[in-house]
Structure 1
Amino acid sequence: MTHFRTTSMALAGAAAMFALTAAPAQAAPGDVTTSCSSVLTPTGYVDVSWGYSSSCGTQSFSPNIKQIKQLTGLPVGTVVQACASTYQPAGWIQTGSYYSSSCVYSSTPSFNNNAWQLKRVS
């Protein structure tokens, strides 16, 4: 019975890890999904917040999970807040920068600007 429980827990953990690391499939404009920090932010997305989750496999409490937002398809003139841990997609410009506690993506954080206000221009 112990072997079955251990196997079940390992499979559940693997399924949770896959759910966090899988690339977003057919996300609608503005959708937010979560992934482990080891997964590159896809083209057309920006990071919008960072945090910690034991499901992403590290033993420290450094930021290892991020929420990403789909910007492709949002109308011209849309303004979004994004972490400075990724570049803004083509057609978006930075209109401001500031510090946000939800955008701390380093284990040695500072109070320097780490977030942007972005505007869709084309």
Structure 2
Amino acid sequence: MAVTALAVTASPASAAPGDTVNMCASALTPDGWVDVQWWNSGGCGSGFTPNMKQIKDLRGYPVGTQVNACASTWPPAGWTITSTYYSSGCRYSAVPSFNPNTWTLKRTS
């Protein structure tokens, strides 16, 4: 008997709060979403600059929710930056740096 595995990912148009989607860095992060991780992928081209990102849907979270997000996109409306720090998973540049590149965001409205 053959078993077939099927990977299903949510599209930004039909996602629920907290859903994640992987996409090439050349695509813009949709409104209401944030970047949460960066890496290199042969499927998105070549080079030393991270070219793949994981994005997370922040729409629909209740006020008071906190999430961590890469500083490569601005927080959506209603979210406030409460702290900044460095994370190796948020290196979105080919030039390494230990400068803060990650935010803790809080839903405020």
Taking structure 2 as the reference length, the TM-score comes to 0.88
For residue 43 of structure 1, give the secondary structure of its aligned residue in structure 2.
coil
Map of 2:23 onto structure 1: 35
Question: 1:104 maps to what in 2?
Answer: 91
Paired residue for 2:33?
Answer: 45
Mapped to 1, the partners of 2:22 and 2:96 lie a distance apart of 21
Partner of 1:69: 56
Listed one character per residue, the Cα deviations across residues 74-99 of structure 1 (whole Å, up to 9, x for unaligned) are 11110000000000000000000000
State the secondary structure of the residue aligned to 2:43. Answer: helix
Secondary structure of 1:55's aligned partner: helix
The separation in 2 between residues aligned to 1:39 and 1:89, in whole angstroms, is: 17
Superposition deviation, residue 57 in structure 1: 1.8
Q: Does 1:89 align with 2:76?
A: yes
**What are the Cα deviations for residues 82-122 of structure 1, in whole angstroms up to 9, with x where unaligned?**
00000000000000000000000000120000000000011
Structure 1 counterpart of 2:48, which letter? F
CA deviations on 1:39-88 (whole Å, 9 max, x unpaired) are: 00000000000001100022x23200000000010111100000000000
Provide the alpha-carbon RMSD of the alignment.
0.9
Q: Secondary structure at the match of 1:113?
A: coil
Alpha-carbon distance between aligned partners in 2 of 1:105 and 1:98, rounded to the nearest angstrom = 14
Helix, strand or coil at the partner of 2:27: coil
User: Rg larger in 1 or in 2?
Assistant: 1
Amino acid at match of 1:66: K
Match of 1:55 in 2: 43
Q: What is the percent sequence identity of the aligned residues? A: 62
Secondary structure of the equivalent of 1:46? strand
Q: What does residue 4 of structure 1 align with?
A: none
TM-score norm. by structure 1 comes to 0.78
Number of positions where the alignment pairs a residue of Structure 1 with one of Structure 2 = 99
